[in-house]
Chain A
Amino acid sequence: MTKAMERAVSGKLLGRSQLEDLVVVPVFAFVAALVLGALVMAATGVDLATIGTSYVALVRGSVGSINAVSETLTAAAPLVLAGLGLALGFRAGLFNIGAEGQVIMGGLAAVVAGVALGDMPAIIALPGAVLAGALAGAFYASIAGWLRAVTGAHEVISTIMLNLISYRLLDYLLRTPLIQKEGRADPISKAVPDSAELPQLLAFLDPNLRVHAGIFLTLAMVALAYWLLFRSKLGFEFRASGENAVAARFAGMNASLTIILAMAIAGAMAGLAGANQVLGVLDRATPGFSAGIGFNAIAVALMGRSHPVGVLFAGVLFGALEAGGRQMQVDAGVSIDLIAIIQSLIIVFIAAPLLVRAIFPWGFRRERTGEGGS
């Protein structure tokens, strides 16, 4: 494998350090996380054959069939959307942990708007519901942005609190007559009408293939995030404030406005992720419908190095892990929580290249390992 890389490098396809950052570190991170995951399984009394079965199931459930690929893409779309938002925030120097709450608010607003616009034709109802999701996410995130800009409250703490508040708010709102399904006492929303649903793409092959038009929305957002970040003035201001807030301020940028806008756009993306879930997959909002998307998206954004294209690839990988994890639970009886362990280990290896270099010194050029010493 190293030989192949040597050749790729000598062919000047990529600079050596670029190759190390973009390929070697993520690949090692992924492999190391899988190995450690196997060790965790072994430590909890899972025998070797079952460990083998589970990793085979992981592959089979993620890319083994059309249905598996459909599941992978379905799981990847919201992760990419929320991950794009977090990546924009990271670029602007904001560590937004609140994607989960923004996903909830976005999803809930999309349900409400979808139900309200249900009688309209799909050309109005669907965009209306999607937009409502984006706006709700943007509003919810900009609370934390506003607090940071005006009072200096650190966004890590305020977004975590907003997450916790959003769970309670969801429970409460799902019981209000406007949202709750008729004749139900438990917190569950009305179903999204067909006109506001994101259509399934492969239903003509098999109605169980869940992949839906949300993947086009996702791809469009990847392009938009790329344009915003690297081609627009606003994106330049985000990146400038993220790299050096003081210099950005002396260059005449409005730091407060940048923070609020960055949070709002991040929230809009997370809100879209929520809308994508309720309009494309779940059909309604229930307690816990966000299913940790906002937290997994942190890992996706980190693994994608806060670059929209990187986020896309990382999101697909994490979607595959999730789809495969479900298969693993069925085939081998290994709890899907194992996937959370693997994901967190991927984060640590990605975010600490020095650690990867220390564990796998042969993957890197000698001089660069010198940094880790002393």
Chain B
Amino acid sequence: MSALLDKARLRQTRITGGILIALGVMMAVFLAPNAPGVATFRLSRPTDVWPVPNLLVPGGPFIYVVSALLVFLGVRQFLRGAAKWSALTLGIGLAIAVAAFLVWATAGKSFSLTGMLQASLVRAVPIALGGLAGVLSERVAVVNIGIEGMLLAGAFTGALVGSLAGGVAGLVAAVAVGGLFGFVLAALVVTYRMDQIIAGVFINLFVLGLTSYISSQVFQEYRALNNAPVFRAISVPYLSDLPVIGPVFFNQNIFVYGAFILAGLATYYLFHTRLGLRARAVGEHPRAADTLGINVYRTRYINVTVAGMVAGFGGAWFTLGSVGRFDEGMTGGRGFIGLAAMIFGRWHPIGALLAALVFGFADSLQQKLALLGTPIPSEFLAMAPYVATIVVVAGVVGRARAPAADGKPYVKE
């Protein structure tokens, strides 16, 4: 078995190397000759307290340097002992490739980098919270495909209750309904031993059906029920005046702050408290945990319910945190991208958050590129986050280890 695993890992390392080399060569051939002029990245607005000069990058030379680096990283993958750093290499390689791509698109034009980073953070929120929900439930060995549905439920509830009783009530209700679906998932897989993936698919289909039904049956007629207030950005005094960092990190709405705080709390809970240790034990070896007197069923119920609440909070972002109204199927696969973020982040809350930031960046990048008027059709730009998800899942899986009992039902003897 271990020889097989090594072989698979070696093959994966080589695929990573191949991807990086191909990317480097393609950049040198296609992008570098077509990037005349200097790319101007605006870092601050004229009204800022401490203005920073614009960042000027010469197009062609920068892309040639990046292609050389990519080829170097790719070749390194074929040398001995590369497997250890393979994921990191892939991450760095993709990051600089994206930077080069951005320079290519901006060459001869100017563009607000700070604005894009700010949008990245905003767009990372539902993915980060979805990923965090995934971490919380998979750490107790419950695979949660239903995150997409929980996000959608949160978005819907946020809009409905937010319209009726105000934003805070909407947020509380969204969290509660997310938790309810978490509880339903736990009940289905723990008590009724339903296949975990089918249970998740059920939640997704059910929530999509229910919210679309109410949306077309009720919201069409009573539009006032789908007109919720939006949480405005809160700027942190002094810190928000910092150049670049200020607008990006300290002038956001409660969902962005919430995602960071929850990721920190989850890390503390899972790795520094007794309850977290028990939860992880349930995920790794439920029988051993049971023998030591940990209530496996109750632990799974609680953690999956909390995961649902986190996803409900993330779902409220779609309505209370951005547009204030619910549209059918508005989550658009963010829950699944969140699962990819969880895998990319190696089942660690902070890792999932960082991975979500990468996806959020890809998402806002494609929006900005569409505005910059690149020759690439907008449909292909819109695919970028999904392609990135596939590359990440293909490149990282197998290296990152899921909780040992992940996906397996536990039957008490």
The answer for the CA separation of A298 and B195 in the assembled complex, in Å, is 14
Contacts of B216 in A (CB 8 A): 335, 337
Counting CB contacts under 8 A, is B122 at the interface?
A: no
Q: Which residue of A lies closest to B216 (CB)?
A: A335
Counting CB contacts under 8 A, is B214 at the interface?
A: yes
Which A332-358 residues have a C-beta within 8 angstroms of B? 334-335, 337-341, 343-345, 347-348, 351-352, 354-355, 358
Which among B193, B336, B383 is the interface contact of A168 at CB below 8 angstroms? B383
Q: Is the CB of B15 within 8 A of A150?
A: yes
Tell me the minimal C-beta distance from B172 to chain A in angstroms: 21
Q: Is the CB of A351 within 8 A of B217?
A: no
Contacts of A45 in B (CB 8 A): 218
Which B205-259 residues have a C-beta within 8 angstroms of A? 205-206, 208-210, 212-218
Counting CB contacts under 8 A, is B125 at the interface?
A: no
Counting CB contacts under 8 A, is B192 at the interface?
A: yes
Interface string of B317-352 (1 = CB under 8 A from A): 000000000000000110010011001000000000
Q: Is the CB of B205 within 8 A of A147?
A: no
Contacts of B212 in A (CB 8 A): 335, 337, 340
Tell me the minimal C-beta distance from A304 to chain B in angstroms: 14
Q: Is the CB of B387 within 8 A of A165?
A: yes
Counting CB contacts under 8 A, is A291 at the interface?
A: no
Counting CB contacts under 8 A, is A360 at the interface?
A: no
Q: Is the CB of A337 within 8 A of B209?
A: yes
Q: Provided the pairs A158-B390, A351-B195 are in contact, do residues A341 and B201 lie with their beta carbons within 8 angstroms? A: no
Residues of chain A at interface, number, CB under 8 A? 47
Which A88-110 residues have a C-beta within 8 angstroms of B? 95, 97
The answer for the CA separation of A358 and B191 in the assembled complex, in Å, is 11
Contacts of A154 in B (CB 8 A): 393, 397
Contacts of A18 in B (CB 8 A): none
Counting CB contacts under 8 A, is B377 at the interface?
A: yes
Q: Is the CB of B192 within 8 A of A40?
A: no
Which among B332, B398, B412 is the interface contact of A151 at CB below 8 angstroms? B398
Q: Is the CB of B333 within 8 A of A164?
A: yes
Counting CB contacts under 8 A, is A248 at the interface?
A: no
The answer for the CA separation of A158 and B209 in the assembled complex, in Å, is 23
Q: Is the CB of A153 within 8 A of B382?
A: no
Q: Is the CB of B192 within 8 A of A44?
A: no
Tell me the minimal C-beta distance from A91 to chain B in angstroms: 14
The answer for the CA separation of A335 and B208 in the assembled complex, in Å, is 13
Tell me the minimal C-beta distance from B201 to chain A in angstroms: 6
Counting CB contacts under 8 A, is B395 at the interface?
A: yes
Which among A150, A156, A157, A341 is the interface contact of B210 at CB below 8 angstroms? A341
Contacts of B393 in A (CB 8 A): 147, 153-154, 157-158, 161
Contacts of B386 in A (CB 8 A): 161-162, 164-165
The answer for the CA separation of A142 and B218 in the assembled complex, in Å, is 42
Which A153-175 residues have a C-beta within 8 angstroms of B? 153-154, 156-158, 160-162, 164-165, 168-169, 171-172
Q: Which residue of A lies closest to B339 (CB)?
A: A157
Q: Is the CB of B390 within 8 A of A347?
A: no
Counting CB contacts under 8 A, is B197 at the interface?
A: yes
Counting CB contacts under 8 A, is A2 at the interface?
A: no
Counting CB contacts under 8 A, is B56 at the interface?
A: no
Which A167-193 residues have a C-beta within 8 angstroms of B? 168-169, 171-172
Q: Is the CB of A161 within 8 A of B394?
A: no
Counting CB contacts under 8 A, is B309 at the interface?
A: no
Q: Provided the pairs A158-B394, A168-B379, A372-B192 are in contact, do residues A348 and B412 lie with their beta carbons within 8 angstroms? A: no
Contacts of B66 in A (CB 8 A): none
Interface string of B259-277 (1 = CB under 8 A from A): 0000000000000000000
The answer for the CA separation of A127 and B235 in the assembled complex, in Å, is 64
Q: Is the CB of A151 within 8 A of B394?
A: yes
Known: A157-B390, A374-B412. 20 other contacts (CB 8 A): A147-B393, A151-B394, A152-B394, A154-B393, A154-B397, A157-B340, A161-B386, A165-B386, A168-B382, A298-B205, A337-B215, A337-B217, A339-B209, A340-B208, A340-B213, A347-B201, A348-B188, A352-B192, A352-B199, A372-B191
Q: List 12 A-B contacts (CB under 8 A).
A: A44-B218, A150-B11, A153-B397, A161-B333, A172-B380, A337-B212, A340-B213, A341-B209, A344-B205, A352-B194, A354-B194, A358-B192
> B residues engaging A (CB < 8 A)?
8, 11-12, 15, 145, 188, 191-195, 197-199, 201-202, 205-206, 208-210, 212-218, 332-333, 336, 339-340, 343, 377, 379-380, 382-383, 386-387, 389-390, 393-395, 397-398, 412
